[in-house]
Amino acid sequence: MKKFIAIFIECIVAFTLFNTVQLSAQQSGESVTYLWPVEGARTGADILYTPQCYIDKELNFDNLVIAAPEGTNVVCPVDGTIKHISAGYLQNLSFSICFNKSENAKNFDQMLEESRASIVKSNKSIDPKYIHGTIAILTEDGKTIYISGLTGSEEFKTGQKLEKGRILGQVGYWYRSIPQPCIEISISINSKPADPMTPFGLKTTFIKPTEIKPIESLTQEQALEDFRLFIEILKDCYPGLNDVVSENELTAYSAESVRYIENYGESIPYNDFWRLLRRATAKVHDSHLFLYNATNNATCMRETRYPPYQPQIYFGWFSDTLTCNRAVKEYEQYIGRQIHAINGIPADSIKKIVTANVTDYDAKVESYIQYRLATVGLGPFFNPPYGSQNYDMIVDFEGGEQVTIKGADTKKGLPSYTTDWNKFNMLNRYRDGYATKMLNDSTAYIGLSTFQLNQTQEETIVSFIDSVAQVPHLVFDVRNNPGGDSEVLLRLFTHIATDTLRLNGYTRVNRKGGFKTLKYSMNYTQGISEKPEDELFPDFVAEEGKDGYFNYSDSHSLRVVIPDTAVNYRNKIYVLSNENSISAATVFPALVVRSRRGVVVGRETRTAYHFMNAEKFTEMRLPHSMISFRVPLMQVVFDNVVNSRVPYGRGVLPDYYVPLTLDEVTFRNGDAILNFTLKLIEKGRYLSPENPFASDLPGKAPRSPLYNIISIIAGIILLFTVILLTNRYFRRSRRS
């Protein structure tokens, strides 16, 4: 009887859905623009699940699931550009595993075959049948439409243009809780879920996520609970904690922060609590650990368009001197003048405050701290404990001159400054993600704003490298580059590498599973329990005497780089880096340095040379303050060679250092680092004769600890043999 009732209800639901198609355009207020993706089927046919229904007791938040016979053609619903192609598997509706991204125009069938073959060996809890292909299409109006459950031999490239009606592949299987062949469609706008039904002309069941209401304050109990949880999440999930802050330091800071909350009173304002967490992230200061802006600040920005007030002058440290570096017309005469105090607080004290609040840099990196000191006011930590919320300042300049400078009210717009920092901050930030050009007859230039490049963009860059193969000098610019896909940077590097480069790399995590705090994650539902089938990192193993779990075969370890033989530039390479070269933009110059392939010009990169915590990010949210933050779960170590050229915990140090000056920040004489590089080329300056990696040259496998032990033993034996023979010789000489 129950089965009959269930079938009856399903029939009613299906009948209702079919009828809603006719009412769609008028009721939704939006014209029908998308083509139904199942070839030959009418719009709305064979819908299995819509948003806000349940799939085997799981809430289906934003997926439209459509059934069709296996092998039926799936067509492109709208004109667009391929954003990515991959093979993946759904553990549940909120957690998916990506096995394979499209490279070299692989098709879905090839990716699925490779993924299934590897999974059968490593993870038997996954049913290979439900490993499926996914294509993401960026539409002209800024939406991203995802279609999953695909198979097929059609070959595509990321960045490729698609026309409405183009065959994308064939229907396969999507999710293990749905036994029949089907495809899934979801849509996002700016990475947020969007309605997948209205664009097809269907009456929608999608419910837009409600925005979090700004929280004005927290009770003392709520603040203590959220702060302690924040620290516990770092200890539980973040793998590089002891590389940047000792356990004693973190314990002392936590105790100090708890006392601060307890002494604050019965409640603590939201923004004050957010700044407390900001100071905690400054203790850890990782370039991949990110605390999102306070919701109250974001709301304020939306309501007023601008912050209520802005300073009429800015200041920063150059050559250890606090200097006015930016001003409106009325105060431009003070630009370049030394400042002794602001609001009665000495420059040295302000420097300590600013330094203690710098976040987003790795380990012992120094350049980013210097950058923040030079450009005070650009960062979110500029809420001056040495000034009022209105940015009113009493400034003591050199020579005893004291000036009262009121903050600028922004109701009529932002103040206009006479020095332009935009040119400095926008260097190497290209709209297409890259730029290629000839600087002069003997120097070519490739600017990489990101390593998150699609195949079409990558091919264009490689084609340019091929076209300048005979040009004597090639500049790679990775300044202000936030990183991206490590596979892209590796492939680009093969086109300039001249020898095989071998690295002793590995990846490390705190644990395989059993992350207790992942229950507060917004993107992970797996890995909370210690059951083998729930492990996030089943391929990682423990090592005696070491904390954590390790993987030496993971692709992120970057163990071997082999030169490309078809396109290979073999002349002089110059890489431009600065304090905003992060993640993959640190690895690229690191490979150049490590292989002695070229020189690095500029300043130290923001991410550490030897390790970075940069994979498997979990998005966490604290229960009371609703503050969210991103924590990396995996540490990537791509090189274990440490010497004076690459000290442990530092970024990539340039061969030619260009100090940050007031002239560079104000762009007074143009692009300082590029100009410096062109002068080096003009003077014929390049690699120094000394090779810091002489004991481990590129192309040779690194020597193992066993090799070193055997060498030492052999040396001792040889020494004793020499002594013994010498002793015998002298004895015979005496007898004779």
User: Which of 464, 445, 457, 462 has the alpha carbon at shortest distance from 485?
Assistant: 457
Closest CA to 303 of 415, 417, 410, 192: 410
Cα–Cα distance measured from residue 151 to residue 156, given in angstroms and rounded to the nearest whole number: 13
Q: Taking a C-beta distance cutoff of 8 angstroms, is the pair 432, 457 a contact?
A: yes
Query: Which amino acid is residue 264, in one-letter code?
Result: Y
Helix (H/G/I), strand (E/B), else coil: 619: strand
Q: Which residue type, as a one-letter code, is found at position 416?
A: S
- Residue found by looking up tokens 């009262």 in the block: 404
**pLDDT recorded at residue 297:** 45
Report strand pairing: 182-189 vs 95-101.
unpaired
Region of 57 (left: φ > 0; alpha: ψ -120 to 50; beta: rest) is left
* Rounded distance between C-alpha atoms, residue 429 and residue 304, angstroms: 28
List pLDDT tens digits, range 651-661: 999 999 999 99
Instruction: State residue 137's pLDDT score.
Output: 96
Question: Which two structure tokens, joined as six digits, stand for 554?
Answer: 């993971």
3-state secondary structure of 119: helix
Task: Enumerate the H helices of 289-380 as residue ranges.
Answer: 295-304, 347-356, 367-374
Residues of the chain with pLDDT under 50: 1-31, 296-304, 378-382, 384-387, 695-711, 736
| The CA-based dihedral angle spanning residues 374, 376, 380, 385, taken in that order and rounded to the nearest 10 degrees | 140
Query: Which residues pair with residue 551 across a beta bridge?
Result: 507
Helix (H, G, I), strand (E, B) or coil at 381: coil
Distances (CA, A) of 310 to 100, 306, 342: 48, 9, 16
Is 455 in contact with 157 (CB distance < 8 Å)?
yes
Residue 608 CB neighbours (<10 A): 27
Beta strands 541-542 and 95-101 are unpaired
Two tokens, residue 267: 């409640």
Q: What size, in residues, is the chain? A: 736
Alpha-carbon span 665 to 374, nearest angstrom:
8
What per-residue string of b and e applies to 91-112 under the rule 16 or more CB within 10 Å gives b? Answer: bebeebbebbebeeebbbbbbb
Instruction: Specify the pairing of strand 473-477 against strand 443-448.
Output: parallel
Q: Which residues pair with 89 in a beta bridge?
A: 97
Exposure of 63 by Cβ count < 10 A (0-12 exposed, 13-18 middle, 19+ buried)? Answer: buried
- Cα–Cα distance for residue pair 615/534, rounded to 1 Å: 19
Count Cβ atoms within 10 A of the Cβ of residue 29 and give its class: 0-12 exposed, 13-18 middle, 19 or more buried: exposed
pLDDT value for 242: 84
Whole-angstrom Cα distance, residue 531 to residue 514? 8
Helices then strands, each counted (H, E), the chain: 16, 37
**Can you state the angle between helices 584-594 and 486-494, rounded to 10 degrees?**
30
Ordered DSSP codes for 414-464 = PPPBSS--HHHHTTT--TTSEEEEEEETTEEEEEES-B---HHHHHHHHHH
Specify whether the CB–CB gap between 300 and 270 falls below 8 A. Answer: no
Residue-wise burial string across 129-155, b where 16 or more C-beta atoms lie within 10 A, e elsewhere: ebbbbbbbbbbeeebbbbbbbbbbebe
Q: Which residues lie below 8 Å from residue 481, measured CB to CB, with a gap of 6+?
A: 428, 448, 449, 450, 451, 580, 581, 582, 584, 585
pLDDT at 539: 86
Main-chain dihedrals φ then ψ at residue 230, nearest 5 degrees? -55, -45
Helix axes 486-494, 455-467, angle to 10 degrees: 20
Q: Which residues partner with 101 through β-bridges?
A: 86
Q: Which two tokens stand for residue 358?
A: 């710098």
CB-based contact 655:577 (threshold 8 Å): no
Chain CA centroid to CA 52, Å:
31
CB-based burial, 493-529: b 16+ in 10 Å, e otherwise: bbbbbeeebbbbbbbbbbbbbbbebbebbeebbbbbe
